[in-house]
Amino acid sequence: MYRILIFVLSISFSQNVIYNDFFTDNTLRFDYFHSGVADTEHVSLDELRLEGAWPGSKTNLIDEMHLGLYRFEVNDVESNELIYAYAFASIFGEWQTTGEAADGVWRTLHESQRFPEPKQPFRLVLKKRNPNGTYNTIYYAEHDPASRFVNRFPMGNNNKVWEIFNNGSSENKVDILILGDGYRKDNVRQFKKDAKHLVGVMFNTEPFKSRKSDFNVWAIDVFSDETGISNPRQNVWKKSALDLRFNSFDSDRYVLTFANKNLREIAAQAPYDAIMIIFNDPKYGGGGIYNLYSTVSSLSSQADYVFVHEFGHSFASLADEYYTSNVAYQVSLPEFEPNRPNVTALFDPDNLKWKHLIDEETPIPTPWGQAAYDSIAVVYQQKRRQMTANGVSADEMETLFEKLKQSTIPMLKSQKYYGKVGAFEGGGYLAKGLYRPEIDCIMFSRNRSEFCKVCLEAIERMIDWYVK
């Protein structure tokens, strides 16, 4: 009993960290190398880097949502108190689930975590979440903020920072930063047009539409020597400023950059909580990793949809609700409930995490025409793989997307439980064993331009975290 009481007290105490007792107004960045194979990983320090003003909340300092694969914690050495914590996912964590990592090929990726600069010596702790919800510590070190080893070199100011809209102090807003890749200096008007258009689409989509006043959106003019980005499958190599590439983890449409240090130095010129990168290329593609960044090709006809979908990943740790696409990861049946807000393994239907959104008369699991849907979608995916292998044009691929839409929209809409929250089998890259909250959602298909009610709630929870 005594032990339990102590535990409860320490939790509530850590929720009440007073910002000014522990932190300056600046941002400190922990840069490190993350190396390993599928079942082993090591973290080694690159450097601590002082950035500009802290743009995050000064009230919410300890994240207890426990999303993502990793947790980053800062402890005050003198009092041993937890003073800052938040969750994230990483490219390294995704890479560990690829065949290459399973084959024992070691790789190193550069990563950064940002936090308010502590006034006193602090301890940095990186933890990795196990599927059962427990954590393993993978990095642990004490640092002195007054040390000459903290890189205090002035931040660059070579690029023009401008605002798309500004609703007030960064401390109480979600600050989104738009960066462009594959735009030449003479494409500056195109970059501004693309950035404003895509941001406009997002803020016409709920919950962003109703919550617009909780956001600031910034952009930085970053120019490349050439137009477009690298596409290794077509042996196209472009010298783009952020080094975005198609075919990340050998998945054709998956676009990431591995040049993290460069990205962070550029981004640090503006206040930001979330980075969205748009790239000047007609080929369909994108990516989004929780608390890292999202990417989208601004010239693809699907750009509007992808921009919002990928932000669902990078901002709120939403899972993909689709399951028929080819992905780079090796997916196995879950043994534990996934820590994603919008998919469930349904091990305990009576305590489903989105139970409060389900009508009494909706059965769990909820029936839907999965066999009919799969017969269309699986054929489409086979065709798409074949076309990708043959390197067909972006236009031909777009025509195929349109055909899929036309045949699946009426089929999904005719389902009895369309638009209702339930537990529909198929989600998170698995046709069986994982369930999604609604028949359709931005995280499920390109059919619908709205998030399902469970995704909406997860995004709103995240907005609340930043603005309080």
Query: Site residues (CB under 5 A) for Zn ion?
Result: 342, 441, 443, 452, 455
Token pair listed for 449: 């331009």
Shortest approach of Zn ion to residue 53 CB, angstroms? 35
* Beta strands 40-53 and 23-37, pairing class: antiparallel
Sign, CA dihedral 137-467-461-313, equals negative
Nearest to Zn ion of 304, 457 (CB atom): 457
Shortest approach of Zn ion to residue 419 CB, angstroms? 12
- CA pair distance 38, 107, nearest whole angstrom: 10
231 CB-near residues (< 8 Å, 6+ apart): 245, 246, 247, 281, 283
Nearest to Zn ion of 28, 377 (CB atom): 377
Shortest approach of Zn ion to residue 444 CB, angstroms? 7
Burial of 217 (0-12, 13-18, 19+ CB in 10 A): buried
- CA pair distance 286, 256, nearest whole angstrom: 7
Shortest approach of Zn ion to residue 385 CB, angstroms? 25
Nearest to Zn ion of 85, 343 (CB atom): 343
Q: How far is CA 225 from CA 228, 237, 258, 297, in A?
A: 10, 12, 19, 18
Q: What is the CA radius of gyration of the chain?
A: 22
Instruction: Give the count of alpha carbons within 13 A of 233, CB side only.
Output: 19
Residue nearest to Zn ion (CB): 441
Nearest to Zn ion of 61, 455 (CB atom): 455
Shortest approach of Zn ion to residue 363 CB, angstroms? 19
Shortest approach of Zn ion to residue 445 CB, angstroms? 10
Nearest to Zn ion of 342, 366 (CB atom): 342
The size of the chain, in residues, is 468
Nearest to Zn ion of 92, 322 (CB atom): 322
Nearest to Zn ion of 118, 288 (CB atom): 288
Shortest approach of Zn ion to residue 42 CB, angstroms? 35
Token pair listed for 183: 């735009």
- Which residue is associated with the tokens 């989600």? 427
